[in-house]
A and B are shown apart, each in its own frame.
Chain A
């Protein structure tokens, strides 16, 4: 770092050094977030490419693009890559890593080197999975159901399972770091009930990561062991195949909440900022995150209603599954109440937030259909289920992820994205998403099963609609990729607080210095003091940025980057 006392250009975390070594050996949580951003984007496009091939194949009822063996490998790649290497680490790895220390007023994570180790484990796991794809890929689906995966499949299941196993430890380390950081690194005055809801939801996510992921690791390890001839799940060797499903879903159902709880956190920040209002029912929204984390562990059997599981166990799982709609509903209703009578500022992040609320609600309500045993028996393993969880994961998590990336892009990079293009692509993604997945509810209810590359003629019209939507969605995703890269060099310089937001992360410069704040901030208010921020604003339109009073004592002075 050069000493230049008269310079206005103080080094930020990006400009402080630019060697490859300074990136690969960094312990700065913000740089690790950028490493995650680059690598999860890479895996997003790999998993997305598999989806493109699948949708092309499904345009006609016959096998035109790929045969059945290749199709099985495609949906396995799509599931494994996008779940374990995109959705699970997406918001925690990028936005969580970047924002958690800044939001609580800390210099870094509690364990910076463990944080870097988490990225390396993710990368090693990812490389092992890519290797598995290159040597032929697995054909089991992302669920690795036994005994097919452990005894009969001739594909690269072992390699794929090892990749997932390694990536699981990345997730555990991230979760551990989030929990310890939240407990020990909060700035003076940052009490638990002043924490941004983003932190609460990441805390809940981290609990699931450390309590659930080890069970997944054990389950896939057992599959690998059984492939070497030891009987665990294979009935011929004295095992029980349903035991695998119990172990797998004990992690993988809560994993849905690993994917969507961080999204809830993002939406709470977006909705308050762009409605210029305090969150409605802060305590309930925070507690709902924890309730989801706990209840999420009690419902896994609803994936197993037709597996041969005891009908009595299924009843118990069904009833508990209904209860988890309560905390989810609390969140949706509280966001709606926050927007109600707010001064809504329609920016790109807010469009994504609106998209999230609507699509997550559809995904959640169809989840209740599936929690009812009688309906589940009818639509189990059909496109109805596919549509349901894509509404949660793509309509929910990806929407929130993109909304969050746009919202915090000025903070992360010091540059603004082009608003016009961003609004256009947000709308394109919303339209493309619905056109892709709504027809799948219909075709699934009519009985089209998942995981087949061919289907009866009468399902073709709906499948063509879905493929048309997927092409719009795919192009929609290319837009942010392009203009965000463009904005790194050409975008206008961002102010410290371009949204006039109340959170602590907006009180430091954009991009922040390596240790986030020049002086440790002393917090006197919660993160949603928008009544104070926006009393003088003349909405509609953009609020007057000069009126944004800093609700924090001793925060570093706001200075506009030249």
Chain B
């Protein structure tokens, strides 16, 4: 294992970024896009924004705190595989929930 020494400054900056995103998550939760925007179904924007922030935070943790950024391509492959498998779980499960009402 080649230990890549990461300066403490980087960790502090990532931590600060995570805190900013955390505050942003809370702040966005108070904004109701359904009221702000004229078209129906705009409430989904709340979910999309919250998920985008959550994914960014997860990416920061994986890349910096878990050192994937400094690791071999093989580690990248396995990290991506984990994400892809989560996507399989969500996508095929949602294929049930989204299509249940088609057939009545």
Q: A: which residues have CB within 8 A of B?
A: 183, 211, 215, 242-243, 246-247, 250, 297-298, 300-301, 304, 308-313, 316-317
Contact between A310 and B100, CB atoms less than 8 A apart: yes
Contact between B81 and A309, CB atoms less than 8 A apart: no
Contact between A183 and B74, CB atoms less than 8 A apart: yes
Contact between A311 and B89, CB atoms less than 8 A apart: no
Contact between A313 and B96, CB atoms less than 8 A apart: yes
- With A183-B74, A246-B93, A301-B92 known to touch, is A313 a contact of B99 (CB < 8 Å)? yes
Identity of the chain B residue whose Cβ is nearest the Cβ of A313 in the assembled complex: B96
Contact between A310 and B89, CB atoms less than 8 A apart: no
Is there a chain A Cβ closer than 8 Å to B95's Cβ? yes
Q: Interface readout for B71-94 with A: 1 if CB under 8 Å, 0 if not?
A: 000100000011001001100110
Contact between B99 and A310, CB atoms less than 8 A apart: yes
> Which residues of A have CB within 8 Å of B74?
183
Contact between A311 and B92, CB atoms less than 8 A apart: no
Q: Interface readout for B18-60 with A: 1 if CB under 8 Å, 0 if not?
A: 0000000000000000000000000000000000000000000
In the docked arrangement, what's the CA distance between A215 and B102, Å?
28
Contact between A211 and B81, CB atoms less than 8 A apart: yes
Measured between C-beta atoms, what is the minimum distance from A209 to chain B in Å? 12
Identity of the chain B residue whose Cβ is nearest the Cβ of A317 in the assembled complex: B92
Contact between A297 and B88, CB atoms less than 8 A apart: yes
> Which residues of A have CB within 8 Å of B92?
246, 298, 300-301, 313, 316-317
Measured between C-beta atoms, what is the minimum distance from A492 to chain B in Å? 46
Is there a chain A Cβ closer than 8 Å to B103's Cβ? yes
User: What is the size category of the interface that chain B forms with chain A?
Assistant: 10 to 19
> Which residues of A have CB within 8 Å of B95?
310, 312-313, 316
- With A183-B74, A211-B81, A211-B82 known to touch, is A309 a contact of B88 (CB < 8 Å)? no
Contact between B103 and A310, CB atoms less than 8 A apart: yes
> Which residues of B have CB within 8 Å of A300?
92
- With A310-B99, A310-B102 known to touch, is A243 a contact of B93 (CB < 8 Å)? yes
Q: B: which residues have CB within 8 A of A?
A: 74, 81-82, 85, 88-89, 92-93, 95-100, 102-103
Identity of the chain A residue whose Cβ is nearest the Cβ of B97 in the assembled complex: A310
Measured between C-beta atoms, what is the minimum distance from B15 to chain A in Å? 26
Contact between A242 and B89, CB atoms less than 8 A apart: no
Grouping DSSP codes into helix (H, G, I), strand (E, B) and loop, the A interface class, with mixed when no group exceeds half, is helix
> Which residues of A have CB within 8 Å of B103?
310-312
20 contacts between A and B (CB under 8 A): A183-B74, A211-B82, A211-B85, A215-B89, A243-B93, A246-B89, A246-B92, A246-B96, A250-B89, A297-B85, A297-B88, A298-B88, A298-B92, A309-B100, A310-B98, A310-B99, A310-B103, A311-B99, A313-B96, A316-B92
> Which residues of B have CB within 8 Å of A316?
92, 95
In the docked arrangement, what's the CA distance between A298 and B92, Å?
8
> Which residues of A have CB within 8 Å of B98?
310
> Which residues of B have CB within 8 Å of A301?
92, 96
In the docked arrangement, what's the CA distance between A298 and B88, Å?
7
Contact between A242 and B96, CB atoms less than 8 A apart: yes
Contact between B99 and A312, CB atoms less than 8 A apart: yes
Measured between C-beta atoms, what is the minimum distance from A275 to chain B in Å? 36
Name the residue in B81, B85, B88 with the highest tally of chain A Cβ atoms < 10 Å from its Cβ.
B85
Contact between A312 and B102, CB atoms less than 8 A apart: yes
In the docked arrangement, what's the CA distance between A242 and B98, Å?
14
> Which residues of A have CB within 8 Å of B100?
308-310
In the docked arrangement, what's the CA distance between A310 and B95, Å?
8
In the docked arrangement, what's the CA distance between A543 and B99, Å?
62
In the docked arrangement, what's the CA distance between A304 and B93, Å?
11
Measured between C-beta atoms, what is the minimum distance from B98 to chain A in Å? 8
> Which residues of B have CB within 8 Å of A317?
92
Q: Which 5 A-B pairs have the closest CB atoms?
A: A313-B96, A312-B99, A310-B99, A310-B100, A313-B95
In the docked arrangement, what's the CA distance between A250 and B85, Å?
10
Identity of the chain A residue whose Cβ is nearest the Cβ of B98 in the assembled complex: A310
> Which residues of B have CB within 8 Å of A247?
89
Measured between C-beta atoms, what is the minimum distance from A323 to chain B in Å? 14
> Which residues of B have CB within 8 Å of A311?
99, 103
Measured between C-beta atoms, what is the minimum distance from B88 to chain A in Å? 6
Measured between C-beta atoms, what is the minimum distance from A335 to chain B in Å? 29
Identity of the chain A residue whose Cβ is nearest the Cβ of B84 in the assembled complex: A211
Identity of the chain B residue whose Cβ is nearest the Cβ of A311 in the assembled complex: B103
In the docked arrangement, what's the CA distance between A496 and B78, Å?
38
